[in-house]
Amino acid sequence: MSTLMLASEIGRRPVVTLSGEAVAQVKDIVFEGRAGRVSGFTLSGRGIFSGPKRQALPWAAVTALGPHAVMVRDEAAFEARSEVVDRGEAAGGDVLGSQVLTDAGTDLGKVTDVVIEVSVTAATVVGYQVASTEALGRQERTVYIPLPETVAVSGEALVIPASATDFVADDLPGFTGMVPAFRARLKDA
């Protein structure tokens, strides 16, 4: 079973050991750009005055990513921050604020968040939350747009197939079935 989450919801989530000790909190998500999946998390200490930790959490050491916490066996799961960050590819950089264009040249809006599908074995980017343009008939509304398994991202724009506009949802629960349906259409085409 998998669950959809927004990347912004994962930030500041506590990292808790299976013995119940809160040992850190998520600072940032590290993405593998080409693979489109989460490779780990940078961490900060717990509390208002805590700064970034020198350690990070690789995805392979996560036992669960739930709605309230990231679970790990123990603090031995942490690695040097540089190792986890270096595993993630910086290709494309931060997509927040990027323009979403179809391969037909239509501006669909700007990315406001990343939709991640979390399963037992992986956390994969499956779509974007977008502040839409009138091209979608939902100007200045938040919508969810699915992504193909591979996507072209530059520092300024995200290019998706025009057929993705047939699978836009107005909310995250409604988006759940859109990604597999969209990807199935791409495979049939």
Task: Round the average pLDDT of the chain to a whole number and report it.
Answer: 87
- pLDDT (average), residues 10-32: 91
16 phi/psi in degrees, rounded to 5? -125, 135
DSSP conformation class of 135: G
For residues 117 and 157, the model is more confident at: 117
Question: Which domains, ranges and CATH numbers included, belong to the chain?
Answer: 3-87 (2.30.30.240), 99-172 (2.30.30)
CA distance 61 to 177: 29
Summarised one tens digit per residue, pLDDT across range 133-178 is: 999 887 779 999 998 876 656 567 888 999 999 999 999 999 999 9
Strand extents, DSSP E, 10-165:
14-17, 22-32, 37-44, 52-58, 62-65, 70-72, 79-80, 99-102, 107-118, 123-132, 142-146, 152-153, 157-160
Q: Which two tokens stand for residue 168?
A: 């836009």
- pLDDT (average), residues 181-185: 91
Residues in the chain: 189
What is the pLDDT confidence band of residue 34, given thresholds at 50, 70 and 90?
low
Distance in Å from the first CA to the final CA of the chain = 27
Helix/strand/coil percentages in the chain, nearest 5: 20, 45, 35
Summarised one tens digit per residue, pLDDT across range 60-94 is: 999 999 999 999 999 899 999 888 888 765 444 56
Cα 44 versus chain centre, distance: 19
The pTM score is: 0.85
Q: β-strands 152-153, 14-17: how paired?
A: unpaired
- pLDDT (average), residues 109-123: 91
CA distance 101 to 76: 43
CA distance 159 to 98: 10
Contact between residue 64 and residue 72 where contact means Cβ atoms under 8 Å apart: no
DSSP H/E element including 7:
helix 7-10
- Say yes or no to pLDDT of 96 above 90: no
